């Protein structure tokens, strides 16, 4: 699951569809101009749009955008709006819609200026510490041949893709039978996708791609922050729908669908169509309204599969009755749960298979847990996260991973053990997939090549000072590959359930490609998400709980210390808490 930007790595021109009416990316909202707060307002079930909008106006709000598909509006208003709106019978609730770009130090929560996932960040720091790769730092194709459909050859970096070998997505495996159909569209709900990357561009659909968020340089009171986006590669807060200034979304897209083209690597489904549905800001925050808009757009635009490697901010777990939360915070979390579930239901009801990362907290989601990082974004300067103990899994939900109809994916390492950081839980995890584990080595010491390699925007590599004057990597987790014609691309090693989820999404896309029927409405192929999920789970490779089921991870850290942790794998008849129904398998999913 994501939460990072730039050195780690997280909205969109609205499509003219009757179900979606959103303000265009880059537009200055009323909240920015007036200093009012921005809210997401959830209409009561069955209420007409006209009645709900009238109630919003009566409560003192101004509608910025409406998503009629799920009964939600984005509203700007002053203090007291939430209470006034909640008193209206036609309004079910409100949630503050936080909008940020680069978080300035004065607004940082817990001393961090960007939302950072420590697991994914670790591989970047390892790359800086270990220095440049020399053995395979500049990989080239030695075939001298053009690749032809139906006769796949291994890509130059295939030897570094242990993850594809684990799930049989190789030239001797699924590539020989099913590489995916251009008529199958996979939506990447993430920080954006670098559509110009040479190992993504052949499969990227710029026309369908959208950006549902914007990196607005505004402080907690709506005031402008000078230079907030100045360090972005393009120096702007307004990004086109083929841009990723974080890197996370590009890595995810590459894992799903990098083509077989004699350059770099290949994804799980190297011939599917990739669509950028940007809902995450450069800062790594994903807020409610962009997530809703991305999902409803996916349903209306004929997207077949979406990958969601994130959770909706600011609450990791949305609890409706936890005593540590104020009544206002409980109401906000209830709105997030209901609004997201409506959007998930809408997308799935329109043929979208939903896949999400299980989380990197190394906790059992089916047990009472402690959340010490929510809310992870401070609306008021100086406000910080607080510790919430003994969260009840029956009344606390992480969205979208725990949403109804969502396939939740845990992460494996190269040995097929559950990754040390991956969250888990019997009844929570549906399937597992390779997400990397840098400590999955015989000695328990760190090895960045045991994480996941996928595409990385060149603009970020330059901006982060990771390349020398010749364009060669200066750090060990960045790899350069050039084809026989001199076209070069960059790739990075990172780990996380964010990396596991797209492997499962890629296999789901192969299932639609193999078994889907013609889509008379949107063209391409279509398959009922229930059937896709059934095939994905049924063909996953069985993986039992370890023996003993209480598995202890031992990691020998670079600073000389040793870390140990024990995770308990509970098992049911056909699934378990570490792997769900098993590790996804591309070849089995399309028929051996």
For the chain, which residues score pLDDT lower than 70? Answer: 2-35, 98-114, 116, 133-151, 216-236, 378-384
| Whether residues 171 and 90 fall in one domain | no
Q: Give residue 489's pLDDT.
A: 98
Q: Give residue 133's pLDDT.
A: 59
| Whether residues 90 and 230 fall in one domain | no
Q: Give residue 316's pLDDT.
A: 95
E-strand ranges in 521-561 read 525-526, 550-556
| Whether residues 384 and 452 fall in one domain | yes
Final residue in a domain of this structure, among 72, 96, 120? 96
Pairing state between β 273-278 and 185-189: parallel
| Whether residues 80 and 185 fall in one domain | no
φ, ψ at 435 (rounded to 5°): -125, -5
How far is residue 437's CA from residue 450's CA, in Å, rounded to a whole number? 6
| Whether residues 308 and 347 fall in one domain | yes
In a domain, 157, yes or no: no
Q: Give residue 397's pLDDT.
A: 97
| Whether residues 226 and 244 fall in one domain | yes
Q: Give residue 307's pLDDT.
A: 98
Q: Give residue 131's pLDDT.
A: 72
| Whether residues 110 and 84 fall in one domain | no
In a domain, 11, yes or no: no
Final residue in a domain of this structure, among 71, 96, 121? 96
In a domain, 292, yes or no: yes
Domain at 61, CATH number: 3.30.70.80
How far is residue 142's CA from residue 165's CA, in Å, rounded to a whole number? 21
- Given a contact cutoff of 8 angstroms between Cβ atoms, the answer to whether 497 and 422 are in contact is yes
| Whether residues 91 and 109 fall in one domain | no
In a domain, 504, yes or no: yes
| Whether residues 41 and 113 fall in one domain | no
In a domain, 7, yes or no: no
| Whether residues 109 and 37 fall in one domain | no
In a domain, 4, yes or no: no
Q: In which domain, by residue range, is 285 found?
A: 105-130+164-464+495-589
How far is residue 307's CA from residue 589's CA, in Å, rounded to a whole number? 18
In a domain, 442, yes or no: yes
The contacts of residue 481 (CB under 8 Å, 6+ apart) are 138, 139, 140, 156, 157, 199, 263, 264, 265, 488, 489, 490, 491
HEC secondary structure over 172-236? CCHHHHCCCCCCCEEEEECCCCCCCCCCCHHHECCCCCEECCCCCCECCCCCECCCCCCCCCCCC
Pairing state between β 525-526 and 488-494: unpaired
Domain at 517, CATH number: 3.40.50.200
| Whether residues 56 and 117 fall in one domain | no
In a domain, 180, yes or no: yes
Q: How many domains does the chain have?
A: 2
Final residue in a domain of this structure, among 96, 121, 145? 96
Token reading at 112? 């961090």
Q: Give residue 230's pLDDT.
A: 59
| Whether residues 86 and 184 fall in one domain | no
């Amino acid at each position: 699951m994501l939460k990072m930007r730039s050195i780690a790595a997280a909205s969109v021109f609205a499509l003219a569809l009757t179900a979606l009416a959103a303000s265009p990316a880059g537009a200055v909202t009323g909240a920015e101009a007036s200093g009012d707060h921005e809210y997401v307002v959830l209409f009561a079930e069955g209420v007409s749009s006209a009645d709900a909008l009238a109630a919003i106006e009566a409560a003192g709000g101004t509608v910025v955008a409406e998503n009629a598909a799920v009964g939600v509006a984005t509203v700007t208003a002053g203090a007291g709006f939430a209470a006034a709106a909640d008193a209206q019978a036609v309004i079910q609730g409100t949630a503050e819609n936080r909008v940020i770009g680069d978080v300035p130090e004065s607004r940082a929560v817990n001393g961090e200026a960007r939302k950072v996932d420590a697991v994914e960040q670790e591989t970047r720091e390892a790359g800086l510490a270990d220095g440049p790769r020399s053995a395979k730092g500049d990989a080239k194709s030695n075939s001298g041949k053009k690749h032809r459909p139906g006769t796949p050859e291994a890509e130059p970096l295939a030897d570094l893709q242990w993850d594809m070998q684990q799930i049989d997505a190789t030239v001797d495996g699924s590539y020989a039978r099913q590489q995916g159909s251009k008529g199958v569209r996979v939506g990447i709900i993430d920080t954006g996708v670098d559509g110009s990357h040479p190992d993504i561009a052949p499969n990227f659909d710029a026309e369908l791609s959208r950006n549902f968020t914007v990196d607005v340089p505004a402080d907690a009171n709506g005031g402008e922050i000078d230079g907030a986006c100045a360090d972005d590669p393009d120096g702007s807060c307004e990004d086109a729908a083929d841009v990723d200034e974080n890197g996370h979304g590009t890595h995810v897209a590459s894992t799903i669908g990098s083509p077989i083209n004699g350059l770099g690597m290949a994804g799980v489904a190297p011939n599917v169509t990739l669509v950028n549905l940007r809902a995450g800001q450069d800062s790594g925050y994903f807020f409610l309204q962009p997530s809703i808009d991305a999902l409803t757009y996916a349903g209306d635009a004929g997207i077949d599969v979406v990958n969601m490697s994130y959770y909706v901010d600011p609450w990791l777990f949305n609890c409706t009755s936890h005593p540590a939360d104020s009544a206002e915070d409980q109401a906000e979390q209830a709105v997030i749960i209901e609004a997201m579930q409506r959007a998930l239901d809408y997308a799935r009801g329109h043929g979208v298979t939903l896949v999400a990362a299980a989380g990197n907290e190394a906790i059992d989601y089916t047990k009472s847990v402690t959340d010490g990082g929510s809310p992870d974004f401070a609306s008021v300067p100086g406000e910080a996260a607080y510790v919430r103990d003994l969260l009840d899994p029956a009344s606390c939900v992480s969205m979208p991973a725990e949403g109804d109809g969502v396939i939740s994916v845990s992460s494996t390492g190269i040995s097929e053990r559950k990754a040390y950081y991956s969250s888990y839980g019997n009844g929570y995890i549906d399937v597992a997939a390779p997400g990397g584990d840098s400590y999955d080595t015989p000695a328990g010491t760190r090895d960045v090549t045991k994480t996941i390699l996928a595409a990385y925007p060149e603009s970020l590599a330059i901006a982060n000072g990771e390349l020398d004057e010749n364009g060669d990597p200066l750090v060990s987790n960045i790899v350069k590959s050039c084809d026989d014609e001199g076209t070069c691309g960059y790739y990075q090693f990172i780990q996380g359930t964010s990396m596991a989820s797209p492997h499962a999404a890629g296999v789901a896309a192969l299932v639609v490609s193999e078994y889907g029927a013609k889509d008379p409405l949107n063209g391409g192929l279509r398959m009922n998400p229930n059937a896709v999920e059934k095939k994905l789970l049924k063909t996953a490779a069985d993986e039992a709980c370890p023996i003993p089921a209480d598995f202890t991870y031992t990691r020998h850290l670079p600073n000389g210390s040793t870390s140990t942790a024990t995770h308990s794998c509970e098992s049911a008849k056909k699934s378990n808490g570490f792997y769900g129904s098993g590790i996804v398998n591309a070849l089995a999913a399309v028929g051996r």
